[in-house]
Amino acid sequence: MKTILVTGAAGYIASHTCKALAAAGYLPVAYDSMVNGHRSAVQWGPLVEADIRDRGALDQALRTYQPMAVMHFAAFAYVGESVTNPGKYYRNNVDGSLTLLEAARDAGIGQFVFSSTCATYGVPQVSPIPEDHAQSPVNPYGASKLMVERMLRDFDAAHGLRSISLRYFNAAGADVDGLIGECHEPETHLIPLALDAAAGTGSLTVFGDDYPTPDGTCVRDYIHVDDLARAHVLALGALESGRPTTAYNLGNGMGFSVREVIETVERVTGRKVPHTIGPARAGDPPALVGDASRVRRELGWNPQHTTLEAIVETAWRWHQRAR
């Protein structure tokens, strides 16, 4: 069986990807520090509990499992926290990724899929954003991911380590079979917080209502986590067939404002979402919508959950089960 080392595999997007990898016949070996991960999300292969900055543990995992590729998700991913504590982000996301890349290089790994982000673009000049748009991140989280994309290109040029960086827009929703879902501690993401507010177990503050957008609130491109997971399997297959290093956007190509998300959550749950308006969050661009036509064309990616309703419905089912 083809083995894949998956860092951060006990987290949200990576655990859905492990499920998709297993369904496609791969064995995902979960490598996770368990600082933010959930043991219950590791269901499709063994778990190595270690940090990506621990070179000894990485070497041992690579020797033990002899993976044919690495999928790298492990990262801190709170935009707001990255602004107030940038050192944490550069130390883990950049230094940790470099340690992983060097370990992968020395183990002779030739294929690498990287969890990147639309936050590498910064404030876009055009919408939807194509992959060749300038990358000028406006927060340390985006900057840390952009540095890894750059390292990956350099490692390919120097060592032949081919990679595909997948720039996610806003991951949302939960496994359609209800086995796993979104579970951050603390939760900072809009859809789970709006569901908490609808359920009466939390409160929601809208971060700013005077952005230069149609209703004044931030616009984002929400993409179902199962669709993201499938794109990773396609990216791996493309690398196996020799595709050169590249990066792809993963989004639906449709933007929804914070107010539209709240209205959708109210429709899906049949409940009101009480909320207040607060100041804008540092590091938040007004609108981020992705042009994912290249990955559709080149890898045959075809998102299945194309409406916000469908995405929120899966999140609500998971929310009722898990929270």
Binding residues for ligand UDP, per CB under 6 A? 79, 170, 188-190, 193, 204-207, 218, 220, 258, 281, 284
To the nearest whole angstrom, how small is the minimum distance from the Cβ of residue 188 to ligand UDP?
5
- In this complex, which beta carbon is closest to ligand UDP, that of residue 60 or of residue 136? 136
- In the set 141, 168, 222, 248, the catalytic residue is 141
- In this complex, which beta carbon is closest to ligand UDP, that of residue 51 or of residue 182? 182
- In this complex, which beta carbon is closest to ligand UDP, that of residue 79 or of residue 129? 79
To the nearest whole angstrom, how small is the minimum distance from the Cβ of residue 177 to ligand UDP?
23
To the nearest whole angstrom, how small is the minimum distance from the Cβ of residue 212 to ligand UDP?
13
Burial of residue 290 (CB within 10 Å: 0-12, 13-18, 19+) is buried
- Using Cβ positions, the residue closest to ligand UDP within the complex turns out to be 218
To the nearest whole angstrom, how small is the minimum distance from the Cβ of residue 140 to ligand UDP?
13
Residues 6 or more apart whose Cβ sits within 8 Å of residue 23: none
- In this complex, which beta carbon is closest to ligand UDP, that of residue 243 or of residue 281? 281
Please give the biggest Cα pair distance in the chain: 56
Active site residue 26: no
Catalytic residues: 141
